[in-house]
Chain A
Amino acid sequence: GDSVTQMEGPVTLSEEACLTINCTYTATGYPSLFWYVQYPGEGLQLLLKATKADDKGSNKGFEATYRKETTSFHLEKGSVQVSDSAVYFCALNSGGYQKVTFGTGTKLQVIP
């Protein structure tokens, strides 16, 4: 079945440091890939997505590229801010309207 593996957290970075959160997946066919972000006390919200191989999703300075050859969708940001502190979830949908498979989440803490 489908699965998503993302790096263990928490990740603690200083402000303006570079961020990479690794995500790899197992799925049939050509899944859509997502990064969702959950700020403290809130629900998840979509950060970015990619629907086919080599697509790059981007939003708010974050980027992730759909790499089918390595089955990866790593999240990157060149310079993090304190306001980026949150839990980040990698997710996929391999077709069908009912199921998104989520990773376990990676907590990011950015310190001034």
Chain B
Amino acid sequence: NAGVTQTPKFRILKIGQSMTLQCTQDMNHNYMYWYRQDPGMGLKLIYYSVGAGITDKGEVPNGYNVSRSTTEDFPLRLELAAPSQTSVYFCASSNLGARETQYFGPGTRLLVL
């Protein structure tokens, strides 16, 4: 049972480059989330999805885009990377929304130089 998987584990980007962070869950959860975790801070919600084809912005969406073409996959796209996007990114999923348990992936550490 893989749960939530994320790739890559670590990436270094140059300013202005683009990349996609991959997230896949095998629990058939409708709800999926992307968070970023900065040192000494709690997690901040970037985007979320309540089902295939439906996405919406969270607290800190600027500089990011998402898509949800299948129940399993929820990729996060960074366009024109900036140093402020240096962070650890976590994908999570939930069966019944944020009021219930969220299951997190292992994270992607991104460094923008």
B90 touches A43 (CB 8 A): yes
Closest residue of A by beta carbon distance from B41: A104
In the complex, chain B residues whose CB is within 8 Å of the CB of A95: 99
Closest residue of A by beta carbon distance from B4: A43
A85 at the interface (CB under 8 A from B): no
A97 touches B104 (CB 8 A): no
Q: 1/0 contact trace for B89-101 toward A, CB 8 Å?
A: 0101010111111
Closest residue of B by beta carbon distance from A49: B101
A104 touches B97 (CB 8 A): no
Give bound CA distance, A49 to B100, whole Å: 9
In the complex, chain A residues whose CB is within 8 Å of the CB of B66: none
Give bound CA distance, A101 to B56, whole Å: 17
- B56 partner, pick from A45, A98, A104, beta carbons under 8 A: A98
Give bound CA distance, A96 to B45, whole Å: 14
Closest residue of B by beta carbon distance from A51: B99
A103 touches B98 (CB 8 A): no
- Interface residues in B74-113 by Cβ distance below 8 A to A read 90, 92, 94, 96-107
Give bound CA distance, A101 to B98, whole Å: 10
**If A43-B4, A43-B90, A43-B105 touch, does A100 touch B98 (CB 8 Å cutoff)?**
yes
Most buried by A among B58, B94, B101: B101
- A45 partner, pick from B31, B33, B104, beta carbons under 8 A: B104
Closest residue of A by beta carbon distance from B97: A97
A98 touches B107 (CB 8 A): no
Most buried by A among B33, B45, B98: B98
Residues of B whose CB lies within 8 Å of any CB of A are: 4, 31, 33, 40-43, 45, 48, 50, 56, 58-59, 90, 92, 94, 96-107
Q: What are 6 A-B contacts defined by CB distance under 8 Å?
A: A41-B106, A42-B107, A43-B105, A45-B103, A89-B42, A99-B98
